[in-house]
Structure 1
Amino acid sequence: MRLSLKAKVLSLAVLPVLIFALVISATTVFMLHRQAEREVSDTRERLLSEAKATLQNYVAIAMTAIKPLYEAAAPGDETARANAIKLLSSISYGKDGYIFGYDSQVIRIFRSNSPDGVGKSFNDARDANGVYINRELVAVGKAGTHYVMYSSALPGKTEPVPKIGYTDYLPKWDLIIGSAVNIDGIDAKVAEVRQNVEARLKEMLYSILGITVLVLVIIGVIGILMAGTLLRPLGLMKNNLDDIAAGEGDLTRRLAITSNDELGDLAGSFNRFVDKIHGMVRQVSEMTGQLNGLVGEVSSQAQRSETAMDRQRHETDQVATASIRCRLRLKRSPRARRVPPWLLSRPTSKGTPPSALWTAASDRFMRW
C-alpha cells in the first residue's frame, strides 16, 4: 500500500500517541479492576470482621453473665451447670439472636428457650456444602479457634443462607456455648459495593476514553498543520522540477528559505542546483550562438568555393570546345602541314588562363 508523505507524517504523529494511550488505558483498566476487586474483598473482610467482633461480644456477654456461677462451682457441679444453662437460655439479642449449648459428644444441651432437639446428637448434621456444622462448632470451641463458616436455612424456609458461628468451651461443665449470625446481609452489602465500584470504574473508563479521543484529535490537528508546513516547500520544489522536466521551467525562480531547519537547507541546496543548471544553460546558449555564426561562415565559404568551381568548370569547358574546333579545322585544311611549330609546342605562360590561350591561338591560326 502506497502512503503519501503527509499520511506518513500524520501516522508518525498519531500512532505513537494512540499506542501510548492504549497501553496507558489498558494498564489503568487493569489497575482499576484490581483495585476494585481489592476494595470489594476489603469490604467483605471488614464486614465479616465486624460480624465476628459483634458475635464475639454477644458470647462474651453470655460468658460474663455466668462467670460468678462458673468460678464458684466445683468440677462436675450439676446444680451450678443447670443454673447456668437456665440463665443462658433466657439470653437473646437483636431480631433473632440467641445462645446455644452442646457437650463434647455433640449432644444439644439447650437452644435458647426452645426444647427442639435438646438431648439429641447432632454429630452427623451437615449443611449443603458438606460441613459438619455442630461437630465443627464443638471442635473450634474446644480448640480455641472459635469461628465456623457454614450455611443453614432460616426458620420456616428451605433456602440456606451463609452463617458464621462462634463457640467457647467451659471445661468444668463440659459445655460448649456459642451463637451464630446470618451473613447474607454482608453478601448484599458486598454486592452493592461491587456495583458502586463497577459504576465508578465505568465512569473512569469513559473519562479516559474521552480524554484519549480529545488528545488524538488535538494531535491530529497539530499533525495536519505541521504536515502542511513541512510539505509546502517540498510541493514547491516538485512543481519547479516538473516545470523543468516539461521544458517550461523558469530557471530564474528560487525557493524562499523560511526556516533554519533541514527543509531550509534543502531549499538552499535546490536553489544552488537551479543556479548551476541556469549557468550551464546560459553557457550552452552562448556556445550555440557562436556555433551558429561559425556554421554561417562555413556555409558562405562553401558557397564561394562552389561558385569558383563552377567558373573553373565553365572555363575548362570553353578550352575543350576550342581545342576540338581547332583540331577539326586542322584536319580539314590543306595548310595543316604548315602549322608553325611554335603554335603546337609553345608553353602556356604562367598566369594565362587556358581559355585565353586557346582563343589567341585560334585567332592567329585563322588569320594565317
Structure 2
Amino acid sequence: MPLKAKLILLTLIPLVIVTASVSWITLYQAKALGEKEISIFRESLIRTKEAALKDSVELAFDAIEQAYLDPTLSEREAKVEVKAILNRLRYGTDGYFFAYDKVGTNLVHPIIPELVGRNLLKLQDQDGDYLIEALLFQAQAGGGFHQYLWQKPQPGRRSLS
C-alpha cells in the first residue's frame, strides 16, 4: 500500500471514529432528554388531571350532601336520592361517577347499569391490578388516587368486556 494511502487512512479512521462517537453521544443525550421531557410532561398532566378530578369529586359531595342532611328523608330514601344524583352527574366530556360499598359491590354505574349489585372486588384490569380492591383501600385510607387501566365505556353501552 502506498504511503499516500496509508496517510489518508490514518487521517480518516480517527475522524470517522470521533464523528461516530460524537454522533452516538448526541443521539443518546437527545433520547435521554426526550424521555425526561416526556416524563415531566406526563407527571404535570397527571397532577392537573388529579386536581380536576378532586374538584369534581368535591362538587359531587356538595351535590349529595343535601340528601344526607335532609331530616325529612329516611336513610334508605337518602341513599336512593344519592344514587339518583350520582347517576345524573358528569364531569368533563366523558367523565361519570360510580360508587361501591365497603365490600366491593357496585352501587352506582350510570354507563353500565348491569354492574349495579355485582360484587367486583376481584375485578382485574389487563395488567392484573385488582382495581376495585385498590380503590376501596385508597378510600379507607382517607382518599387518594389510583391509576388503573379501564376502557371507558360509551353511554348506552350494555356490557362489560
TM over 0.5: yes
Q: Which runs of 4+ in 1 moved over 4 A?
A: 155-160
Pick closer, same or farther for the CA change 1:159–1:38 going to 2, 3 Å. farther
Map 1:168-247 to 2 at 5 A.
Answer: none
Partner of 2:43: 45
Note if 1:148 corresponds to 2:147: yes
Deviation of 1:51 after TM superposition, in Å, equals: 3.0
Specify every segment of 5 or more residues in structure 1 that has no aligned partner in the other structure, as ranges. 161-368
Residue by residue over 1:220-250, the C-alpha shift from the partner in whole angstroms, topping out at 9 and shown as x without a partner, is xxxxxxxxxxxxxxxxxxxxxxxxxxxxxxx
Number of residue pairs matched by the alignment: 155
**Counterpart code for 1:22:** A
Aligned to 1:99, which of 85, 97, 100?
97
Deviation of 1:159 after TM superposition, in Å, equals: 10
Is the Cα contact below 8 Å between 2:60 and 2:86 reproduced in 1? yes
Is the Cα contact below 8 Å between 1:92 and 1:112 reproduced in 2? no
Pick closer, same or farther for the CA change 1:136–1:12 going to 2, 3 Å. same
Is the Cα contact below 8 Å between 2:105 and 2:119 reproduced in 1? yes
Q: Distance in 2 between matches of 1:101 and 1:140?
A: 13
Is the Cα contact below 8 Å between 1:85 and 1:110 reproduced in 2? yes
Partner of 2:136: 138
Deviation of 1:104 after TM superposition, in Å, equals: 0.3
Pick closer, same or farther for the CA change 1:113–1:47 going to 2, 3 Å. closer
Aligned to 1:124, which of 122, 130, 151?
122
Deviation of 1:153 after TM superposition, in Å, equals: 6.3
Pick closer, same or farther for the CA change 1:13–1:125 going to 2, 3 Å. closer
Residue by residue over 1:123-142, the C-alpha shift from the partner in whole angstroms, topping out at 9 and shown as x without a partner, is 23233332223222222222
Deviation of 1:22 after TM superposition, in Å, equals: 1.8
Deviation of 1:110 after TM superposition, in Å, equals: 1.7
Deviation of 1:102 after TM superposition, in Å, equals: 1.1
Task: Judging by fraction of residues, say which structure has more strand.
Answer: 1
Q: Distance in 1 between matches of 2:38 and 2:134?
A: 28
Deviation of 1:111 after TM superposition, in Å, equals: 1.8
Task: Judging by fraction of residues, say which structure has more helix.
Answer: 1
Question: Quick one: higher RCO (CA 8 Å, sep 6+), 1 or 2?
Answer: 1
Larger Rg: 1
Is the Cα contact below 8 Å between 1:90 and 1:113 reproduced in 2? no
Deviation of 1:27 after TM superposition, in Å, equals: 0.8
Is the Cα contact below 8 Å between 1:140 and 1:148 reproduced in 2? no
User: What TM-score, normalized to structure 2?
Assistant: 0.72
User: What TM-score, normalized to structure 1?
Assistant: 0.36
Aligned residue for 2:115, secondary structure, equals: coil
CA RMSD between the two structures: 3.3
Deviation of 1:38 after TM superposition, in Å, equals: 2.4
Deviation of 1:55 after TM superposition, in Å, equals: 2.5
Pick closer, same or farther for the CA change 1:22–1:140 going to 2, 3 Å. same
Pick closer, same or farther for the CA change 1:40–1:121 going to 2, 3 Å. same
Residue by residue over 1:81-121, the C-alpha shift from the partner in whole angstroms, topping out at 9 and shown as x without a partner, is 44333322221233432111111011122223874332332
Q: Distance in 2 between matches of 1:73 and 1:92?
A: 23
Q: Distance in 1 between matches of 2:37 and 2:158?
A: 33
Aligned residue for 1:147, secondary structure, equals: coil
Specify every segment of 5 or more residues in structure 2 that has no aligned partner in the other structure, as ranges. none
Partner of 1:168: none
Q: Distance in 1 between matches of 2:159 and 2:117?
A: 24
Is the Cα contact below 8 Å between 1:98 and 1:112 reproduced in 2? yes
Pick closer, same or farther for the CA change 1:126–1:101 going to 2, 3 Å. same
Residue by residue over 1:266-325, the C-alpha shift from the partner in whole angstroms, topping out at 9 and shown as x without a partner, is xxxxxxxxxxxxxxxxxxxxxxxxxxxxxxxxxxxxxxxxxxxxxxxxxxxxxxxxxxxx
Deviation of 1:26 after TM superposition, in Å, equals: 1.3
Aligned residue for 1:122, secondary structure, equals: coil
Is the Cα contact below 8 Å between 1:136 and 1:148 reproduced in 2? no
Identity in percent: 26
